[in-house]
Amino acid sequence: MNKKVITTCLVACSIVAGLSLIPVSGIVAQDNGLAELTLNGGYQGPVAFNHQLHQTIVEDCAVCHKDFEKKPGALDEAKKTGALKAKQVMYKTCIACHRAKKKAGEKFGPISCSACHA
Ligand code: HEC
Ligand code: HEC
Ligand code: HEC
């Protein structure tokens, strides 16, 4: 091979390699889901949940999503399969944090039934 062919090949190869690196390096934006969600609260009534506000307060998605997937209907699905008990997320995640914040003297979310369930 002469020098020109080698150079052309190197250029072509690095373009191909560069392109294939784009998805690998994760330039694809994170899907934060809807800003406002309505959660199924059973016979107690639906729960209006400001997802976006909580993403700002909590930062680590896993605080909530360790228990259910990042997709619509994931909570109900996990309760249906028995992966989660009814009211488990409500007590162990939502109310637990609101109580802890209150105790720490910080801004906190609702703790009484009717403040969450409409
Ligand atoms: C305070 C709890 C909490 C935090 C923190 C949280 N989420 Fe969620 N997220 C939920 C709940 C509850 C649902 C609704 C699941 C369902 O529909 O059953 C949800 C649903 C979703 C969905 C499904 C799409 C939709 O709009 O319904 C996506 C995507 C998602 N979350 C992404 C994220 C990402 C990314 C983060 C971190 C930046 C995050 N969430 C942080 C509670 C949280
Ligand atoms: C911080 C908000 C919040 C508060 C306060 C709250 N809940 Fe809930 N509740 C939820 C969420 C979110 C769910 C759905 C997730 C789950 O089941 O863990 C839920 C689910 C439920 C369900 C349905 C469980 C099922 O799957 O059948 C009942 C019943 C319920 N709550 C009753 C209550 C009662 C009674 C109180 C007061 C003692 C209360 N909730 C306080 C947020 C709340
Ligand atoms: C790690 C902490 C944390 C977790 C987990 C958490 N919250 Fe909150 N939540 C807060 C704080 C702090 C506020 C007060 C924000 C403010 O007043 O600016 C709040 C406020 C709220 C409010 C009232 C504000 C509004 O209008 O949206 C609701 C309703 C609420 N949370 C529901 C929930 C539900 C339902 C869950 C579980 C799916 C949950 N929260 C999980 C910390 C948390």
> 10-residue block means of pLDDT along the chain (118 residues)?
50 46 60 97 98 95 97 97 97 98 98 98
Q: Which atom of ligand 2 is nearest to the CA of 75?
A: 15
pLDDT tens-digit map of 29-47: 889 999 999 999 999 999 9
Domain 36-116 has CATH 3.30.1370.60: no
Place of tokens 């809807």: 34
Which 3 state secondary structure label does DSSP give 75? helix
- Nearest ligand, measured from the Cα of 71: 1
Q: Pick from 64, 6, 77, 3: which is nearest to 32 by CA?
A: 64
Nearest CA to ligand 1 atom 34: 32
Domain boundaries, the chain: 1-30, 36-116
Q: Following CA atoms 108, 66, 38, 85 in sequence, which dihedral angle do they give, to the nearest 10 degrees?
A: -100
What sign has the CA pseudo-torsion 58, 64, 66, 71?
negative
Rounded distance from Cα 28 to ligand 3 centre (Å): 28
Residue 78 amino acid letter: A
The conformation of residue 30, written as its DSSP 8-state character, comes to: P
